[in-house]
Structure formats: C-alpha cells, structure tokens
Amino acid sequence: MIELYVLLAAMIVAALVAIEIKDLLAAAVALGIVGFSVAIMFILLQAPDLAIVQVVVETLTVVFFAAVILRTTNSDTTIAGRFRHELIFPTVMYVTFGLVFLVLVGRALAGLPEFGNPTMLVAREYIALGLERTGAANVVAAVILDFRGYDTLGEATVLFTAVIGVLTLMRRAGRRELTSENRN
Amino acid sequence: MRGMSPVVQVIARLLAGLLFLFGTYIVMHGHLTPGGGFAGGVLVAAAFILMSLAFGSVEHTERNSYTLSSVVESLGGVLFVCLALAGYVAVAYFFQNAATYGTGTPLKLISGGMILPANIAIGIKVGAGLFAVFLALGASRFVMKD
Amino acid sequence: MIPYFACILLVLIGLYAVVTKRNIVRIIIGFSLVEYAINLFFALVGFKREGIPPIITELGQSRSNFVDPLPQALVLTAIVIGLATTALMLALAMRIYEKYRTFDITEIRRLRG
C-alpha cells in the first residue's frame, strides 16, 4: 500500500500548487494532476468502475476549465505578495472552523472501522443476492440501477438541472450587450 | 472555432471512431464488466468533443448540434423514466426489475433485465448533456465582443 | 487512519481556497478539490485488504473477499454530477467576467454599487 501514500502526498502537493500558482491555466492543470491521482487510487482501491469514470471526467474537467480560461483571462491579479486587510476576517474564520472541524472529524474517525476492514452490513446482502435477484454480474451496476434505482433517478435529475442551467446561462437571447448591438 | 493543424485532424479522425466504439462497448457491458451508462456516456461525449475541437465548426452546424443534443438528452431521461414506469404498469412497483423484465442468463449480454436498457438510456443522457455543455461553454457563437 | 486524515487535509485545502481566495476560478478549483476528497474518502471507507472488485466473473465464485460495492455505487453517480455542477459554476463565472471584465470578487462588489 506504499503507492497509496505516495499518491496521497502527490495529490496534496498538487492541490497546494493548484490554489497558489499565479497562472490560472497552470492551476487547472494542477487540478488535473489531483484528479488523475484520484483515478489511479481508485484502481488501487479495487474500484475499476470509479477509475474509468474518473479518468474521462477529469479529462473533460480540464477541457472545460481550459475553454473558460482561454476565452477570458489566465492571469490571476488577486494573488499579490502584499498583505491585505480584507483577508484577516476570512483567515480567522477559516482557522477557527478548521480546528473545530478537525476535532469533530477526529471523533468521527474514531468510530469508523480500521482502514481496510469495512463492516459491510448492507453490502453483504447486495453481494449475496445481486446476481440472483437482478441477473447482473457487476454488483455496482446492480446496486445503482436496481437496489437503489431512485438514487440514480435523482442524480439524473440533478444532471439534467445542471445542464439546463448551463444552457440557460450561456444562450444568446436575452444578453444585454447583444441587444444593444442589434439596436445600433 | 477554427480547426487545428492537419496532424491533429488525422489523429483525431482515427481516434474518435475508436473512442465512440469503446464508449458504446462500456455502455452495453455495464452489467457484466466495469463501466456502465455514466462512464460510457462521458466517453461518447469525449469522442464528439474531440472531433469538435480538432475540426472546428461553423455557426449553423453548431446551432443544429446544440439543439439536437439538448433534445436527445431529454429523450434519454424520458426513456429512463419510462423503463422504470414499465415496472409500475406491468407488475406493481416503480423500478420493479426482475419481475418485469426477467433476469436472463447470468454472465451473458442479455441479462440483468432493466439494467442494460437503463444503462443505454443513461449513456444517451450523459453523453448528449455533456456535449451540449461543451458547446455552450466553448463554442464560437458565444465568443464575446470586446 | 492515515489515508482518512490525508483526505480530510485535502478537504481543508479546498475550503481554504473557497474561503480566502478572491478569484472566482480559484474558488471553483477549491470546490472541485473538496469534491475529489469526498469521493476518495468514500472509496477508502469501502476498501478491504486483499479484496477484489465486486464483479462476478464465473458462477459459483466465492464472494467473501469483495470490496464494499455500496460506497462505489454512491460515488459513481456523484463524479458525473460533479462535472456537470463544475460546468454550471464555470458558466456563471464566464457570465460574470463578461459583465464586469474581472474575476476578482471584491472588484465585482465595488463596481455593482
């Protein structure tokens, strides 16, 4: 499991790069490094379904970020060396929240089973009955489309809503500068 | 959006077909091997996005594919709900699978009842939806006027 | 326990970007980092040592060492939804840039007045 720890370290370094580097395009590429590390970790964690999805989705995420950044600007003017007074309040809030969060997470993780030894109270039944009840050899597919079909329906609705939101935001009709242009 | 160099275009033409084929394979075998509607749908969308990036497009074809992909996405969603409704109409419950469709022969392509057609519906929905999103975010007809 | 804490660290890094950065694209990157961390956390919780993927390859196969399929099923849909919501946030950022010609949220507040 040493490669898991190496990937986790690489992921944290890439995440720090992504939020601190000045060029936004470079930040998007660093986000891609985090995403592909997650994909490799899914393979190590015996989740090939998730690895396939994560590889393709990460590629498209970087494409979307690049499409937006190339059409707007890639220089981040807000990352400046000098100290800013507006940053005091968010930073104090963040540190306070982070400490409380860490205490709560420490307690919550104490209640979880040790890493690599899941309890699988619900999943035991899914694994035992998956093939017989649904006829699907892939237990994950049996869970998302048969045992928990309502969950997938809800997720499909969220996807539909997000796509409709993007199309509504980016459509040409109703844009002020374009209507004024037509008037000229 | 202008197209890219001939090298990119030749490679993209070779790869996009394979990518589309692999996407449909992943969708069709979602109940037997890793993958499924979500993974395969994103791959199909990636094939279209690759072609669109490599070859560019003119405004009227872009508008057609934009309208078409949003219609196809809605049809995929409707197909998924209809598959779930068939269980309610034919037997008793929404999302009734085995009693409505039968389970088929395990480990063969025709098995899993609703799971294969539902994967296809989700693949259509995800693929068309993401391609529409890409067209909206990156297409030339939205280029800003300075 | 160490992988769990690495995930929590990644969540905190993402939250740091969301809370203190002033560039909208940077804030979206922070949201994406939090999302990846949560997805990874689910996969870590379901992992079993010496486990194999939960896919039946032959009839009568022993299923006792499958990893937990439930977190994987929950995350599978969430990854694609994450891409769609990221695209929604990017579309919003693009419209904001179009109107104000900047990604800086303090500038946007000032220009609005």
> Once rounded to an integer, what is the mean pLDDT over residues C91-97?
88
Tokens for A24? 């936004």
Q: Has residue B140 got a pLDDT over 80?
A: no
Tokens for A132? 């017989």
Domain that holds residue C91: 2-51+67-112
Give the pLDDT score at B146: 33
Give me the residue spans of the domains in chain B: 6-142
Put simply, the answer to whether A150 touches B26 (Cβ < 8 Å) is no
Return mean pLDDT, chain A. Answer: 85
Put simply, the answer to whether A127 touches C66 (Cβ < 8 Å) is yes
* Domain assignment of residue C36, yes or no: yes
Put simply, the answer to whether B38 touches C87 (Cβ < 8 Å) is no
Under a CB-based contact definition with an 8 Å cutoff, are residues C71 and C43 in contact? yes
Q: Please report all neighbours of C, defined by 3+ CB atom pairs within 8 A.
A: A, B
Q: How many domains does chain A have?
A: 1
- CA distance to partner chain B, nearest, from residue A165 (Å): 9
Tokens for B63? 């508008």
Give the pLDDT score at A178: 45
Give the pLDDT score at B17: 92
> Once rounded to an integer, what is the mean pLDDT over residues C43-71?
86
* Domain assignment of residue A151, yes or no: no
Q: Has residue C18 got a pLDDT over 50?
A: yes
Q: Which helix (H) or strand (E) holds A125?
A: helix A123-134
Residues of A in contact with C52 (CB under 8 A): 46
- Tell me the CATH number at C46: 1.10.287.3510
Burial of B4 (0-12, 13-18, 19+ CB in 10 A): middle
Return mean pLDDT, chain B. Answer: 83
Residues of A in contact with B97 (CB under 8 A): 134, 145-146, 149
In 10 A of CB B115, how many CB atoms? Answer: 29
Asked if the C-beta of C65 comes within 8 angstroms of chain A's C-beta atoms, the answer is no
d(CA A130, CA A140): 9
Using one digit for the tens of pLDDT, what is the confidence trace for A126-181? 888 878 888 888 888 888 888 888 889 999 999 999 999 998 888 765 455 544 44
Give the pLDDT score at A136: 82
What's the gap between Cα B68 and its chain centre? 13
Give the pLDDT score at B124: 93
Give the pLDDT score at C51: 86
Residues of A in contact with C34 (CB under 8 A): none
In chain A, which among 68-97 make CB contacts under 8 A with chain C?
68-69, 71-73, 76-79, 86-87, 90-91, 93-94, 97
Give the pLDDT score at A83: 66
- CA distance to partner chain C, nearest, from residue A142 (Å): 9
Asked if the C-beta of B6 comes within 8 angstroms of chain C's C-beta atoms, the answer is no
Report which of residues B111 and B145 the model is more confident about. Answer: B111
Closest residue in chain C to residue A160, using alpha carbons only: C84
Domain that holds residue A39: 1-78
- Amino acid B96 reads Q
Contacts of A144 (CB under 8 A, 6+ apart): A151, A152, B36, C73, C76, C77
- Whole-complex ipTM: 0.90
Residue A122's SS3 state is coil
> CA-based angle B50:B54:B57, to the nearest 5?
100
* Domain assignment of residue A2, yes or no: yes
Question: Which band of pLDDT confidence, cut at 50, 70 and 90, is reported for residue B142?
Answer: very low
Under a CB-based contact definition with an 8 Å cutoff, are residues B94 and B102 in contact? no
> Once rounded to an integer, what is the mean pLDDT over residues C17-33?
91
d(CA A72, CA C97): 7
Give the pLDDT score at B96: 79
Cβ-nearest to C53 among A31, A47, A98: A47
Q: Using the 8-state DSSP alphabet, how is residue A146 labeled?
A: I
Under a CB-based contact definition with an 8 Å cutoff, are residues A139 and C54 in contact? yes
Report which of residues A134 and A101 the model is more confident about. Answer: A101
Q: What separation in angstroms does the CA of C113 have from each of C95, C99, C106, C109?
A: 18, 14, 12, 7
Question: Which band of pLDDT confidence, cut at 50, 70 and 90, is reported for residue C111?
Answer: low
Put simply, the answer to whether A67 touches B141 (Cβ < 8 Å) is no
Helix axis angle for C69-100 and B115-138, nearest 10°, is 20
Residue A74, φ and ψ in degrees, nearest 5: -110, 0
* Domain assignment of residue A133, yes or no: no
* Domain assignment of residue A92, yes or no: no
Residues of A in contact with B80 (CB under 8 A): 153, 156
Report which of residues A76 and B54 the model is more confident about. Answer: B54
In 10 A of CB A22, how many CB atoms? Answer: 13
Asked if the C-beta of C75 comes within 8 angstroms of chain A's C-beta atoms, the answer is yes
pLDDT > 90: what percent of chain C?
35
Tokens for C96? 């904001």
Question: Which band of pLDDT confidence, cut at 50, 70 and 90, is reported for residue B40?
Answer: very high
Q: Has residue B2 got a pLDDT over 70?
A: no
Give the pLDDT score at A43: 92
In chain B, which among 106-135 make CB contacts under 8 A with chain C?
106-107, 126, 129-130, 133
Tokens for A98? 């982070």
- How many beta-carbon contacts under 8 Å exist across A and C? 247
* Domain assignment of residue C28, yes or no: yes
Q: How many domains does chain C have?
A: 1
Q: Using the 8-state DSSP alphabet, how is residue C64 labeled?
A: T
Q: Has residue A102 got a pLDDT over 70?
A: yes
> Once rounded to an integer, what is the mean pLDDT over residues B25-54?
89
List the single best residue of C80, C96, C107 to mutate versus A (max A Cβ within 10 A): C80
* Domain assignment of residue C56, yes or no: no
> Once rounded to an integer, what is the mean pLDDT over residues B107-124?
86
Residues of B in contact with A137 (CB under 8 A): 31-32, 106-107, 111-112
* Domain assignment of residue A130, yes or no: no
In chain A, which among 106-145 make CB contacts under 8 A with chain C?
109, 112, 114-118, 120, 122-123, 126-128, 130-131, 137-140, 143-144
Report which of residues A31 and C50 the model is more confident about. Answer: A31
Helix axis angle for C105-112 and C69-100, nearest 10°, is 50
pLDDT > 90: what percent of chain B?
33
